[in-house]
């Protein structure tokens, strides 16, 4: 959008006219229109006249419908008659060209007073911004939002008064004249709900005005950032720059006011411009804001008789035809026409376009990338560096596609007539994620794609070009998993990690009963202390091993623990059997094993031992010759037949 300076020195050109308007000098120009200082002879006054050439770029079938909608929206904006709003006087068509005539004012835009060396007194700023808020309430009352409140759209016309410009860009709240989801506004001044693409009301404009107030008082933006993505992230997710740290620049009452004006939730902000203005004047006078909600006292800040009747009609438009959005953006350019500093006489300007319409309409737009300096392609061909990001394209015919890439990410966009005269930003998100991951459990182990990544809190690094599978484990918690698809966005990863929660496993109680022999217990491989008969265990299946080496008892059982319940499993050991071994000669050793196990020394012959009933391999070895004899026995509970072994060495 064009931005114009504020002063003019008209140069008379009596032979040039558009409709009934006599063109005096050019105030400025854009890609699709010119702004002139013009004279209206019927009422003998000078106006700022904006010409629009966009209809020639539209298909013939859409021109009449588009023309009608432009007239309808311009007439809505033309009803705004308020000393704080630049007035739109007329909309018309002459020589095949649309034009808008509006109030011509002089002054200086407020962005000049946002510089640290040109800050205005706090009382002056408070009164001026309060007046702007009252003008906004007037517009909101008839259902019209501005959507782009910023210092460059506010003209200071006296010591403590300013006028709102560019209300031609505003869309009636109930009129669907732009495509759903379109972001109209300047990122640094947009409200959180505007960034999220939600339905807007007047509180969005008041949030933007709160940002302007912050900047006028401090010379700094409340949501700074070195890129568009960082700015909009801070507006939506982070508090504004520390207001209390600016005590030297901003009185305490104004700091309290700003905290409310910049609230993330619109329900926490001022409901109307009148309430905003009344509270701001009170704060600007140095009076601390009352803690109670004063809205009931502020609703009548602007008398009802000063407000026009509310609009009740509802306008609808197919979202498939966005041309009106283009025209409304041009209207916004025209609203600033009167602020050009340097004027050019018409006799030095090419004015043939007022009389003829070219068959091919060429448009231009500036394209840049975020991050900066990424390669730019136009229809797949590199854009020359010498072009400086300027792309020229025809208004009709095959669409031009611009694109850029970084790593695995590619972003492309089709250029539309609405893009002409402005700037298109191709935002390429990082293909890497770097951030701290802390699920709230100290020391939880994290694996990424099957490989250990460390313990929490963890500095996590992910290659987002590839899919990523995370598993988080901690004692006493259920494993948490997160599967990220390839090309996930950093904000999606950050959000997913923030919602990754380790769920505690509920505990149940294991109670060990009494047994007829002493046993040593192992729970999931860990030895249980002697004498402990009760233990809390996480819900799930556990292994319980119990041993007695004297009686050759070594068994493992499983038990299912349920959270909040007591488990008393049957862990009784097998009954005891008696093993008797006799050898001749008696000078022998006895070895024992369970089938498949290892041999262990048991005793010398003759021997009588109690063992757990079951199957055993018995080996008797004659000491003098080391001759051995083996046999397998099945020991039953109680007494068993003796095992008798003899060796030839004895007689």
Question: Which tokens go with 457?
Answer: 């809190």
Indicate whether 6 belongs to any domain: no
Indicate whether 348 belongs to any domain: no
Domain with residue 622: its CATH number is: 2.60.40.10
User: What band does 102 get if pLDDT is binned at 50, 70 and 90?
Assistant: confident
Domain that holds residue 420: 358-427
Contacts of 451 (CB under 8 A, 6+ apart): none
Q: How much is the pLDDT for 365? A: 86
- Domain check: are 464 and 591 in the same one? no
- Domain check: are 529 and 562 in the same one? yes
Chosen domain end from 473, 498, 523: 498
Range picked from 97-106, 173-182, 383-392, 460-469 for highest mean pLDDT? 460-469
Evaluate whether 340 touches 8 at the Cβ level (below 8 Å). Answer: yes
- Domain check: are 403 and 272 in the same one? no
Average pLDDT (148-155) is 90
- Quick one: how many helices (H) and strands (E) in the chain? 10, 37
CB atoms near residue 495 (< 10 Å): 10
Evaluate whether 216 touches 247 at the Cβ level (below 8 Å). Answer: no
Sign of CA dihedral 247, 252, 258, 259: positive
Selection from 311, 252, 260 nearest residue 286 by Cα: 252
User: What band does 346 get if pLDDT is binned at 50, 70 and 90?
Assistant: very low
- Domain check: are 527 and 590 in the same one? no
Q: How much is the pLDDT for 286? A: 57
**Who wins on pLDDT, 52 or 309?**
52
- Domain check: are 38 and 146 in the same one? yes
User: What band does 357 get if pLDDT is binned at 50, 70 and 90?
Assistant: very low
Please give the Cα distance from 137 to 533 (Å, whole number): 75
Evaluate whether 191 touches 145 at the Cβ level (below 8 Å). Answer: no
Indicate whether 187 belongs to any domain: yes
- Domain check: are 179 and 302 in the same one? yes
Question: Which tokens go with 82?
Answer: 């308020």
User: What band does 416 get if pLDDT is binned at 50, 70 and 90?
Assistant: confident
Whether pLDDT at 160 is above 60? yes
Q: Which of 44, 68, 117, 148 is catalytic?
A: 148
**Who wins on pLDDT, 336 or 607?**
607
Chosen domain end from 498, 518, 549: 498
Average pLDDT (173-195) is 58
- Domain check: are 211 and 307 in the same one? yes
- Domain check: are 199 and 111 in the same one? yes
Q: Is 95 known to be catalytic? A: no
Contacts of 648 (CB under 8 A, 6+ apart): none
Domain with residue 442: its CATH number is: 2.60.40
Q: How much is the pLDDT for 641? A: 95
Q: How much is the pLDDT for 383? A: 87
Query: Number of folded domains in the chain?
Result: 5
- Domain check: are 265 and 146 in the same one? yes
pLDDT in tens, 199-208: 899 999 999 9
- Domain check: are 161 and 248 in the same one? yes
Please give the Cα distance from 592 to 609 (Å, whole number): 12
Range picked from 70-74, 154-158, 325-329 for highest mean pLDDT? 154-158
Q: Which helix (H) or strand (E) holds 24?
A: strand 21-29
Whether pLDDT at 359 is above 60? no
pTM strictly above 0.75: no
Task: Provide, rounded to the nearest whole percent, the portion of the chain with pLDDT above 70.
Answer: 79
Indicate whether 57 belongs to any domain: yes
User: What band does 76 get if pLDDT is binned at 50, 70 and 90?
Assistant: confident
Query: What 3 state SS string does 562-617 have?
Result: CCCCEECCCCCCCCEEEEEEEEECCCEEEEEECCCCCCEEEEECCEEEEEECEEEE
CB atoms near residue 21 (< 10 Å): 23
- Domain check: are 494 and 475 in the same one? yes
pLDDT in tens, 277-312: 999 999 887 544 443 343 333 333 444 444 444 443
Chosen domain end from 542, 567, 592: 567
Indicate whether 52 belongs to any domain: yes
Q: How much is the pLDDT for 564? A: 93
Q: Which DSSP state fits 489?
A: -
Q: How much is the pLDDT for 142? A: 84
Q: How much is the pLDDT for 178? A: 36
Q: How much is the pLDDT for 151? A: 93
Could you give the 3-state DSSP secondary structure of residue 12?
Answer: coil
Indicate whether 1 belongs to any domain: no
User: What band does 33 get if pLDDT is binned at 50, 70 and 90?
Assistant: low
Q: How much is the pLDDT for 531? A: 87
pLDDT in tens, 424-456: 889 888 899 999 999 989 999 999 999 999 999
Average pLDDT (488-512) is 91
Domain with residue 320: its CATH number is: 1.10.510.10
Q: How much is the pLDDT for 360? A: 60
User: What band does 618 get if pLDDT is binned at 50, 70 and 90?
Assistant: very high
Contacts of 161 (CB under 8 A, 6+ apart): 83, 84, 128, 131
Could you give the 3-state DSSP secondary structure of residue 352?
Answer: helix
Whether pLDDT at 323 is above 70? no
Selection from 422, 429, 419 nearest residue 490 by Cα: 429
Q: How much is the pLDDT for 95? A: 79
Could you give the 3-state DSSP secondary structure of residue 555?
Answer: strand
- Domain check: are 608 and 550 in the same one? no
Q: Hey, what long-range contacts does 522-527 have (CB within 8 A, 24 or more apart)?
A: 522/546, 522/547
Indicate whether 12 belongs to any domain: no
Indicate whether 417 belongs to any domain: yes
Please give the Cα distance from 174 to 316 (Å, whole number): 8
């Amino acid at each position: 959008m064009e931005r114009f300076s504020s002063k003019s020195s008209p140069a008379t050109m009596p032979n040039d006219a558009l409709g009934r308007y006599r063109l005096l000098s050019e105030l400025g120009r854009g890609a699709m229109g010119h702004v002139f200082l013009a004279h209206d002879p019927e009422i003998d006054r000078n106006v700022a006249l904006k010409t629009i050439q966009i209809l020639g770029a539209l298909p013939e079938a859409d021109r009449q419908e588009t023309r009608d909608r432009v007239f309808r929206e311009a007439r809505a904006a033309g009803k705004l008659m308020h000393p704080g709003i630049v007035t739109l006087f007329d909309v018309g068509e002459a020589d095949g060209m649309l034009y808008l005539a509006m109030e011509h004012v002089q002054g200086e835009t407020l962005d000049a007073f946002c510089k640290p060396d040109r800050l205005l007194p706090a009382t002056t700023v408070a009164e001026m911004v309060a007046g702007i808020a009252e003008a906004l309430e007037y517009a909101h009352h008839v259902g019209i939002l501005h959507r782009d409140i910023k210092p460059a759209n506010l003209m200071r016309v006296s010591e403590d008064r300013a006028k709102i410009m560019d209300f031609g860009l505003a869309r009636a709240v109930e009129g669907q004249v732009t495509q759903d989801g379109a972001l109209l506004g300047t990122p640094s001044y947009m409200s959180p709900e505007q960034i999220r693409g939600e339905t807007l009301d007047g509180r969005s404009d008041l949030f933007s005005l709160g940002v302007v107030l912050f900047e006028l008082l401090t010379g700094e933006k409340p949501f700074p950032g070195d890129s568009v993505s960082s700015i909009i992230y801070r507006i939506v997710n982070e508090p504004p720059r520390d207001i209390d740290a600016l005590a030297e620049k901003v009185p305490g009452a104004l700091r309290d006011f700003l905290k409310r004006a910049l609230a993330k939730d619109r329900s926490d902000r001022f409901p109307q411009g009148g309430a905003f203005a009344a509270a701001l004047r009170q704060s600007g006078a140095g009076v601390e804001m009352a803690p109670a909600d004063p809205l009931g006292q502020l609703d009548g800040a602007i008398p009802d008789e000063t407000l026009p009747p509310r609009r009740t009609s509802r306008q609808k438009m197919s979202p498939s035809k966005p041309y009106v959005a283009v025209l409304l953006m041009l209207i916004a350019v025209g609203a600033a026409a009167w602020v050009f500093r340097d004027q050019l006489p018409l006799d030095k300007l090419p004015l043939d376009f007022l009389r003829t319409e070219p068959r091919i309409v060429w448009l231009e737009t500036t394209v840049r990338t975020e991050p900066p300096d990424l390669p730019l392609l136009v229809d797949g061909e590199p854009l020359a560096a010498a072009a400086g990001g300027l792309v020229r394209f025809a208004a009709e015919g095959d669409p031009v596609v611009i694109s850029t890439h970084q790593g695995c990410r590619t972003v492309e966009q089709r250029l539309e007539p609405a893009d002409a005269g402005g700037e298109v930003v191709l935002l390429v998100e990082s293909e890497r994620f770097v951030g701290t991951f802390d699920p709230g459990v100290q020391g939880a182990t994290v694996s990424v794609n099957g490989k250990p990544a460390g313990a929490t809190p963890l500095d996590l690094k992910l290659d987002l070009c590839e899919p990523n599978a995370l598993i988080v484990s901690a004692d006493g918690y259920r494993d948490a998993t997160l599967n990220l698809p390839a090309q996930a966005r950093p904000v999606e990863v950050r959000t997913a990690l923030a919602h990754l929660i380790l769920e505690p496993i509920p505990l149940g109680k294991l109670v060990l009963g009494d047994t007829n022999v002493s046993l040593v217990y192992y729970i999931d491989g860990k030895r249980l202390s002697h004498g402990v008969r009760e233990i809390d265990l996480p819900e799930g299946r556990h292994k319980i091993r119990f041993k007695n080496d004297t009686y050759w008892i070594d068994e493992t059982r499983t038990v299912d623990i349920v959270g909040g319940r007591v488990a008393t499993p049957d862990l009784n050991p097998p009954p005891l059997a008696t093993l008797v071994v006799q050898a001749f000669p008696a000078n022998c050793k006895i070895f024992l094993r369970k089938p498949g196990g290892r041999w262990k020394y048991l005793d010398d012959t003759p021997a009588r031992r109690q063992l757990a009933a079951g199957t055993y391999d018995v080996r008797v070895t004659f000491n003098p010759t080391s001759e051995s004899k083996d046999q397998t026995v099945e020991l039953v509970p109680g007494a068993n037949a003796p095992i008798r072994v003899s060796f030839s060495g004895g007689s």
